[in-house]
Amino acid sequence: MTSHTAPHILVIDDDPSIRDLVREYLEDNEMRVSVGASGSDLFALIDSEAIDLVLLDLKLPGEDGMQLAQRLRERATVPIVLLTGRNEEADRVMGLELGADDYVTKPFSPRELLARVRAVLRRYQVQATLPERDNRRRAFRFSGWELNLRTRRLTSPSGVVVELSNGEFSLLTALCGAPRRVLSRDQLLSKSRLHEAEVYDRTIDVQILRLRRKIETDPAHPVMIVTERGAGYQLVSDVETLY
């Protein structure tokens, strides 16, 4: 079974045989795959899921693949790999100029497709260290968990969605944004932007306790959200950021 924190690839192609081929091959190589057949599928999944990379067919029936690629690039920095016909050089060039990261020509070798997907993902992991991208974060992944910042959805390592209050979501976002760093209560209040009424009713300590009950195996002996006595709290985990 593919890990919930494996790279999540979105395949948009109207040909079910291609979708099935790509899905099976990528899943066999430890990637998660969602599929769609249209532009509406593309944007519905982009808005609801933390997608690591989009494989986009430029020749969807009744839709302009170039416009879809351009709209996608305007909305998100998610990597885009185009699926094109062998004789569509002009489309490939235009797609790259519009912001696509690579292309694969049909018919393609699944092995080559996998290599190109991995290469693009590696490039984006390096770029993700740039500080100017911080305001475009889409999700955090840590210790098998995934926190989707757009849908405000926390998903466990087993794929179960865990409900969070506004305060819990804000605090977890702040902790994920500064992994392995001790944040004081004042810093957590500032970074989480909690309303004064909420802070009055639910202190940082209580919010942290509730978070632990939801993500720690043993909340009484936490190993992820730990207390630094007299200083504050820190998330003791490596965090992957999706942009």
pLDDT tens readout for residues 139-169: 999 999 999 988 889 999 999 999 988 788 8
User: In the prediction, which pLDDT does 132 show?
Assistant: 44
Count the domains in the chain. 2
User: In the prediction, which pLDDT does 213 show?
Assistant: 94
Residues 82 and 181 in one domain: no
The CA distances from residue 123 to 78, 157, 164, 231, in Å, are 12, 25, 33, 37
Does residue 1 belong to any structural domain of this protein? no
How far apart CA 124 and CA 139 sit, in angstroms, is 14
Q: What is the CATH number of the domain that holds 112?
A: 3.40.50.2300
Residues 139 and 90 in one domain: no
- pLDDT less than 70: residues of the chain: 1-4, 86-88, 126-136, 192-202
Beta bridge partners of 141: 146, 240
User: Domain boundary residue among 106, 127, 148?
Assistant: 127
User: Domain boundary residue among 85, 104, 127?
Assistant: 127
How far apart CA 166 and CA 238 sit, in angstroms, is 23
pLDDT tens readout for residues 3-41: 667 899 999 999 999 999 999 999 999 999 999 999 999
User: Domain boundary residue among 127, 150, 170?
Assistant: 127
Residues 122 and 163 in one domain: no
Question: pTM, whole model, 2 decimals?
Answer: 0.67
The closest alpha carbon to 166, from 210, 205, 232, 135, belongs to 210
Residues 148 and 118 in one domain: no
Residues 187 and 150 in one domain: yes
Tell me which residue range forms the domain holding 106. 8-127
Residues 67 and 175 in one domain: no
User: In the prediction, which pLDDT does 39 show?
Assistant: 93
